[in-house]
Amino acid sequence: MDHHSVLFVCAGNICRSPLAEGIFRHLVSKASRSGEFEIDSAGTGGWHQGERPDRRSVAVAADHGIDISGQRARRIEPADFSRFDLILAMDQDNLKNLRKTAPTEFLGKLHLFNTLALGSNKDIPDPYYGDREDFEAVYTMLLAGCSALLPKVGNALRGS
């Protein structure tokens, strides 16, 4: 059995990346593939380290039967670049920040989430300054992307 490790990354690790982690973990579990995956999330900044995800992310996930309340925000660390097979940034700004800090030999692991998942160069917008509807819209985008990503993960890691 193949083993894959996926890290979802946004700015503060309290809105988008915890949702992506929770959604992907839920889909992997529903597909009875939990043993194949290590799934985590992180932020490029450390402003919220140790905090729970944003209450609106927790609420939207819960509305869809996914519990992300036990997650804690963390900042990406140097070891993550070697530890994870795929590091998926929620937007171009975070992808640029990751590219600045990643050792050269690991740059191939960095991708824009939507590019790898859906073949699109669209950012997942940060809902932090928005309202509940913005978080719901982000959930819908992440669900579509994670659903498309799951069957592709093995191929993405083999470079096909």
pLDDT by residue for the chain (160 residues), tens digit each? 578 999 999 999 999 999 999 999 999 999 999 999 999 999 999 999 999 999 999 999 999 999 999 999 999 999 999 999 999 999 999 999 999 999 999 999 999 999 999 999 999 999 999 999 999 999 999 999 999 999 988 665 555 4
In angstroms, how far is CA 12 from the centroid of its own chain? Answer: 12
Residues 15, 16, 54, 91: which is the catalytic one?
16
Domains located in the chain, CATH noted = 4-153 (3.40.50.2300)
Is 16 one of the catalytic residues? yes
Is 85 one of the catalytic residues? no
Residue 60 CB contacts under 8 Å (≥ 6 apart), including other chains = 19, 132, 135, 136, 138, 139
Do residues 117 and 90 lie in contact, with contact meaning Cβ atoms separated by under 8 Å? no
The span from the CA of 125 to the CA of 135, in Å, is 9
Q: How many CB atoms lie within 10 A of CB 119?
A: 9
Residues 74, 91, 126, 146: which is the catalytic one?
126
Do residues 41 and 21 lie in contact, with contact meaning Cβ atoms separated by under 8 Å? yes
Helix (H/G/I), strand (E/B), else coil: 67: coil
